[in-house]
Amino acid sequence: MNIYQHITDSVQQGKKLLAILLDPDKIILETQYITSITEKINKKADFIFVGGSTVNQGATEKLVKILKKTTQLPIILFPGDFTQISNLADAILFLSLLSGDNPEYLIHQQIKSIPKLKNSSLEVISTGYILIDGGVETSVQKVSNTKPIPQKDVELIVNTALAGEYAGKRLIYLEAGSGAKIVVNHDIIKKVKTALDIPLIVGGGIRTEEQLKKAYDAGADLVVIGTAFEQDIHFLNKINNENIS
């Protein structure tokens, strides 16, 4: 499957997509436990994202290997750094942190990843990553040593997203951060989506079906749920399939 083509086809068809983010350092890396998780994910989600701001060496590879035995869903790497690359996955979001001024996460980590990526079979999807203030200091902030864009600076957020598109990014990802207290405001999502000609991903702090629906209604093409699922693996049972189809 060409994953990016699947995303763009879904956008054209008006189909909303859902990804569950699994952090290798926050779940039990055992087949029986992962099977119990994927049984729930398989019924609701379109993709599984794997990654975290910091992940122990080898944990990503181990998780992806187990997931490949328990799900047919595409597995997309969402790496915090170049060490979190596994050729066992299907694709990788080739992230550039557009909202910060730290060159390490704008280009240096990407350069470090090339020896692993250039000979891999991973589908590489260039993604502009924009950190939005979610009301709490996130691990992304700490690791990247950058500050999120305040939600009141809507014009700056829109311009940053457009700069990413003009620079050749194929996806834009608005992220309030893991454990965010405040989700990305629906007005921000709407204005960014209106400005863009490429698919829009939104994540961070989405814990309820209402928040999920609002993100979709505002224009998010793909929503990522992480913390809510980590805290309650039955969370997906509370979501109406009609809202993610």
pLDDT of 227 above 90 = no
Cβ–Cβ under 8 Å, residues 70 and 35? yes
Taking the C-alpha atoms of residue 111 and residue 167, their distance in angstroms, rounded to an integer, is 17
Q: Encode pLDDT of 71-95 as tens digits.
A: 999 999 999 999 999 999 999 999 9
Looking at this protein, which amino acid is placed at residue 227? T
State whether the Cα torsion 232-237-240-244 is positive or negative.
positive
- Three-state DSSP state, 186: helix
pLDDT at 230: 62
pLDDT band at 21 (very low <50, low <70, confident <90, very high): very high
Which of 38-47, 134-143, 223-232 bottoms out in mean pLDDT, i.e. has the lowest?
A: 223-232
- Return all residues near 243 (Cβ < 8 A) that are at least 6 apart: 16, 209, 212, 213, 216
pLDDT of 101 above 90 = no
pLDDT band at 2 (very low <50, low <70, confident <90, very high): very high
Residues 60-77, mean pLDDT to the nearest whole number: 96
Average predicted confidence (pLDDT) for the chain: 92
Taking the C-alpha atoms of residue 180 and residue 74, their distance in angstroms, rounded to an integer, is 26
pLDDT at 226: 85
Q: Encode pLDDT of 138-190 as tens digits.
A: 888 888 989 999 999 999 999 999 999 999 999 999 999 888 899 999 999 99
pLDDT at 232: 67
Residue matched to tokens 């910060």: 100
Q: What is the 3-state secondary structure (H, E, C) of 65-129?
A: HHHHHHCCCCEEECCCCHHHCCCCCCEEEEEEECCCCCHHHHHHHHHHHHHHHCCCCCEEEEEEE
pLDDT at 240: 65
The whole-model pTM stands at: 0.93
- Three-state DSSP state, 134: coil
pLDDT of 214 above 50 = yes
pLDDT of 245 above 50 = no
Residues 22-37, mean pLDDT to the nearest whole number: 91
